[in-house]
Amino acid sequence: MAPAVDREGYWGPTTSTLDWCEENYALTQFVAEFWNTVSNLIMIVPPIFGAIQSIRDRLEKRYIAAYLALTVVGMGSWCFHMTLKYEMQLLDELPMIYSCCIFVYCMFECFKTKSSINYHLLFTLVLFSLIVTMIYLKVKEPIFHQVMYGMLVFTLVLRSIYIVTWNFRKRAPPILGVATQFHAWWHILTGLGSYLHILFSLYTRTLYLKYRPKVKFLFGMWPVIMFEPPRKH
């Protein structure tokens, strides 16, 4: 499907089952899809700082895992779009499933006591990840991956709507108050969306645990969550 103008690059012929519409090796022979590669930085860098801050604030490990999982997706996506190799594509697509499972776990455990573990949910999500991984390695059908990923995102959206419209009604105000480069925009928007999703989940969770989370904007634009010391009873 690649257009005839595509050049041969450092990483050799494309072996991935998807090839995006960005012209291959147009800017440099070392990066197949330049904009689809660098746009992943938004998925890599901010979550690293989020994870460091979560460790400093002694938050539950699930939120450190959520941030780092997003970083892993960004790195996998970087490698995939840089090389257009099938193995790198898996490094992008499989962590998308795993990270979403972590987000689902966080969202459904927002209103539990601190450091409790839901083994049933944990088992279900690990099993789901394993089954999706095994099927996808066999069938190599991008549509299958997209449907499975879509299901997880749909679950997250439903849960978020539920939390915003029901649980917070009485508790506290919710925090919600270039033609071929579409896929790069997908990275930026999904990267931003996933990051904001973690913030939303973390805000809900820490508010429940009486941490007094505050949304601050670094440089007046980039949202992060800061904490004031927990309230004494």
- Per CB under 5 A, the list member of 39, 54, 77, 190 interacting with Zn ion is 77
What is the closest distance, in whole angstroms, from the C-beta atom of residue 200 to Zn ion in the complex?
Answer: 23
Q: Is 167 flagged in the annotation as binding? A: no
Among residue numbers 56 through 75, which ones bind Zn ion (CB under 5 A)? none
Chain-centre distance of CA 83, in angstroms? 21
What is the closest distance, in whole angstroms, from the C-beta atom of residue 39 to Zn ion in the complex?
Answer: 8
* Closer by beta carbon to Zn ion, 187 or else 205: 187
**How far is 186 from 131, CA to CA, in rounded Å?**
26
Helices then strands, counting H and E runs in the chain, come out as 7, 2
Say if residues 122 and 112 touch (Cβ distance below 8 Å).
Answer: no
Q: Is 145 flagged in the annotation as binding? A: no
Q: Is 118 flagged in the annotation as binding? A: no
* Closer by beta carbon to Zn ion, 77 or else 129: 77
What is the closest distance, in whole angstroms, from the C-beta atom of residue 175 to Zn ion in the complex?
Answer: 28
Q: Is 187 flagged in the annotation as binding? A: yes
For Zn ion, the binding residues (CB under 5 A) are 77
Binding-site residue numbers for Zn(2+) are 81, 183, 187
Binding-site residue numbers are 19-20, 22, 24, 33, 81, 183, 187
